[in-house]
A = this chain, B = another copy of it.
Amino acid sequence: ANPVIVIHGGAWAIPDKLEVASREGVKNAARVGWEVLRKGGTAVDAVMEAVKVLENDPAFDAGRGSVLTHAGEVEMDALIMDGKTLDCGSVATVNNIKNPVVLARKVMEKTPHTLIVGEGANTLAKEENVEGADKEYLVTAAGVEEWETYKKYNVAVSSLFAQRCHDTVGAVALDKGGNLACATSTGGITGKMPGRVGDSPLVGSGGYADNESGAVSTTGHGESITKVCLAHRVVQSLESGGSPSQAASEGLKYMFDRVGGSGGAIVVDREGRFAAEFSTEKMPWAAITLGTMEHGFLPGERNKEPL
């Protein structure tokens, strides 16, 4: 198979001041994931390395740049899934890990479990020497400012989402061995209740990967995504013969019709066809295959450039 990597940086009403950083951030992550694939690395390695780049980039709400809960703390969630075996690993509400996607992979590979939350995840991180990070590193000035606005005006979480709120990052990949993988990572929603877990770490909601059909990573209003199992619905559409673009658009339309939420999804199928669809105002995305980068930010925008 011709390798493919697709990245998203979250589907929401991204403010103008973050536009350049968002556009560049997804392109950087795509290049890093592509390098893994080009050198013969696996889809799982590619999505993990790409998501690490996004987690390390403070422009995105994942890893460094995570937003704060109602209590003013960081609680991050991440998921990774290997389409070859359907093995998956997730963590939720972790607060002192540099790259939650790396810890999610440890859950997948080093435990008999699929999701580990809270302190149990921290214990695993210590045992497996996963790099930690303190709150000073993870939280940016913008994150603090957003939280202060939230506390001052007591803005409801739902209205915050509509206006000003960071979101999830994700990656999907196909490697030359024909293996698919997905990874998703997030700091969640500003002002969320402590202990709240959104869609991102949930298999079938925040992502899904199956070598027999395709890989998906979703973004948007987490509770809406969860209610319709968006990622699994999109993969089941691929299984029924839909194209990645159809499967993603129909999944997002179904979500809006049933529960009213907006979001986005990136998809790659087992033949290497890919799509980046969203029903929000903006979603930074980038994809690389056959030596060409494609990327976009606004609805309908699709730029092509050689690598």
Contact = CB atoms under 8 A, between A and B. Distances in A.
B232 A116 contact: no
A92 B116 contact: no
Interface stretch (A138-146, A194-202, A269-277): A194-202
B223 A112 contact: yes
Interface in A94-123: 111-121, 123
Contacts of A259: 85-86
A119 B229 contact: no
Contact of A115 (B119, B196, B204, B208): B196
Interface residues of A, number: 45
Interface in A217-259: 222-223, 226-229, 232-233, 236, 258-259
A226 B158 contact: no
Interface in A34-57: none
B93 A117 contact: yes
B203 A124 contact: no
Interface string A172-199: 0000000000000000000011111110
Contacts of A113: 192-193, 196-198, 223
A86 B227 CA distance: 6
A280 to B, nearest CB: 18
B193 A120 contact: yes
B88 A227 contact: yes
A173 to B, nearest CB: 19
Given A85-B259, A120-B193, 7 more contacts: A112-B157, A115-B202, A118-B118, A202-B204, A203-B205, A204-B204, A204-B205
